[in-house]
Amino acid sequence: DAKTTQPPSMDCAEGRAANLPCNHSTISGNEYVYWYRQIHSQGPQYIIHGLKNNETNEMASLIITEDRKSSTLILPHATLRDTAVYYCIVRRNRDDKIIFGKGTRLHILP
Amino acid sequence: DTEVTQTPKHLVMGMTNKKSLKCEQHMGHRAMYWYKQKAKKPPELMFVYSYEKLSINESVPSRFSPECPNSSLLNLHLHALQPEDSALYLCASREIGQETQYFGPGTRLLVL
């Protein structure tokens, strides 16, 4: 079981913030939320992860609700190169298994 | 260098052929992975190697045989594959104790 629910596709205008939601209502206390993306014909790329605090790095921000049942990945200024499938994953820290769900196909519109 | 390389990029093989996929990383990562990805589907874990030893086999058919000859190399030996095994095969690596898995570009396999 992927244990996450994401919209199958989203559109976002170039230069705007892309907000990708993820529901993980059965998340356990020791499970982290991870985001990866896969650009067409490439391998998946790690974006960010978090436990309960909001996180930010050079690629994106991760906002996790206080009850941890959902989260949002924010790409602050989307570009055409951000067009990809974005996967939200929950797993225990350092657990070897990554179980990918169906992901959200994000289209950045010029 | 955060690169995982995979060869070949593309492979076409018959059902009676024997072939191998190769994955290499020089980041000193001691965990390495094989995933299979069918078209328009998410990647699915096949095998995990930790310190050159097989630690996870996700009930993969024996026609797929992984091998980790050293800490930088991971092979996937293929024999008597079926057309439904056609897919993108992804390799990944991770430093033990760190979170990030680094993926290679994949080998696109077509079984005729």
d(CA A16, CA B69): 47
Cα-Cα-Cα-Cα dihedral sign, residues A57, A5, B98, B42? negative
Our CA-based measurement puts residue A64 at a distance from the nearest CA of chain B, in whole angstroms, of 18
**pLDDT above 60 for A1:** no
Q: What is the pLDDT of residues B23-67, one digit of tens each?
A: 999 999 999 999 999 999 999 999 999 999 999 999 999 999 999
Instruction: Find the angle CA(B39)-CA(B44)-CA(B46) to the nearest 5 degrees.
Output: 125
Q: What is the pLDDT of residues A39-93, one digit of tens each?
A: 998 999 999 999 998 999 999 999 999 999 999 999 999 999 999 999 999 987 6
d(CA A100, CA A26): 16
Two tokens, residue A27 = 């998340």
A98 touches chain B (CB under 8 A): yes
Which among A34, A45, A102 has the least Cβ separation from residue B103?
A45
Using pLDDT thresholds of 50, 70 and 90, give the confidence band for residue A96: confident
pLDDT recorded at residue A41 = 82
- Residue to mutate among B99, B107, B108, with most A CBs inside 10 A, is B99
CB contact under 8 A, B101 and A103: no
Tell how strand B44-50 and strand A84-92 pair up: unpaired
- Residue to mutate among A93, A96, A99, A105, with most B CBs inside 10 A, is A96
Q: What is the pLDDT of residues B64-112, one digit of tens each?
A: 999 999 999 999 999 999 999 999 999 999 998 888 899 999 999 999 9
A50 touches chain B (CB under 8 A): no
**pLDDT above 90 for A98:** no
